[in-house]
Amino acid sequence: MSAAPMNLVVFLARAGAGSRRSCDELVRSGAVTVNGETVTFPRQKVGEGDVVAVNDVPVVLRALRYVLVNKPRGVASTRSDPHAERVIVDLVPDGRALFPVGRLDVDTTGLIVLTNDGVLANRLMHPRYGVPKTYSVRVRGKVTRRALASLRQGVVLEDGVTAPAVVDLRKQSAKTALLDVTVHEGRKRQVRRMFQALELPVEELHRRRYGPLSDKGLSPGGFRELSADEVDGLRRAGEDVDTAVAAEVEGDPVPLAAVEPPAADERD
């Protein structure tokens, strides 16, 4: 355990027992003990040497890790894929113990965070209130003012109208156009489907920003550990998501490490 005392509910969340809300309920239910004594006050301080247990099973803090990867084309953004030559966790030393936060298609390049922090991953991957993600998109065809207006107001897809996107048309040539598009939703293949609905097939798609993180200085296939300030930025983004969904029913926690999760919806 860290030498710095922390609230019991924070300790439980960081130990992977659930989100802070679910851990708060766990403590209040009487399922948590500290040094063998039942504790029902979520903000009770625990420190180094304290033994915390849930339903008599000891829980310990894990060494949390946060890695930013610039996924190249041809790499699957999963922990395993029998149809892919490479998977993203193999690009990082000891990456098999990490979990990709969201997914990108095999042919899509760009930023993905790998972590073993399930609580933060849950927040960042909420399908409707996820963190902003900026893509560089090359499409085939002419991008009209009407198409730009549709992207900025919401595009009608088979699973509903998308949330408004921030769009910047950077270049229009005779046959193709280059745009920057920022979305915060996490629908399956959302960016590609938005342009397909406007009859603008995507030729290249690259995620260059993820929340407060950018691909500056990170070559395709490269990775780096996030700094403490960058992790704090992700946590703040996750807290914004948590606030947005506070009134909603909480979903199941994200499985981590040895358990391969079901396919995520966030694929672009």
E strands within the chain?
A: 6-7, 32-34, 37-38, 45-46, 52-54, 57-58, 66-71, 75-76, 86-87, 99-101, 109-115, 133-140, 156-157, 160-161, 166-172, 176-183, 202-210, 213-214, 223-225
Q: What span, in angstroms and rounded, lies between the C-alpha atoms of 118 and 99?
A: 8
Beta bridge partners of 109: 206
CB under 8 A, 24+ apart: contacts of 9-14: 9/42, 9/43, 11/46, 11/52, 11/61, 12/52, 12/54, 12/59, 13/119, 14/61, 14/62, 14/64, 14/117, 14/119
Which residue among the candidates 50, 56, 90, 105 is catalytic per the annotation? 105
- For 151, the token pair is 């992207």
Q: How many CB atoms lie within 10 A of CB 57?
A: 8
- Which residues, including other chains, have CB under 8 Å from residue 250's CB and lie 6 or more apart? 19, 21, 22
> Is 229 one of the annotated active-site residues of the chain?
no
Coil vs helix vs strand at 201: coil
Residues designated as active site: 105
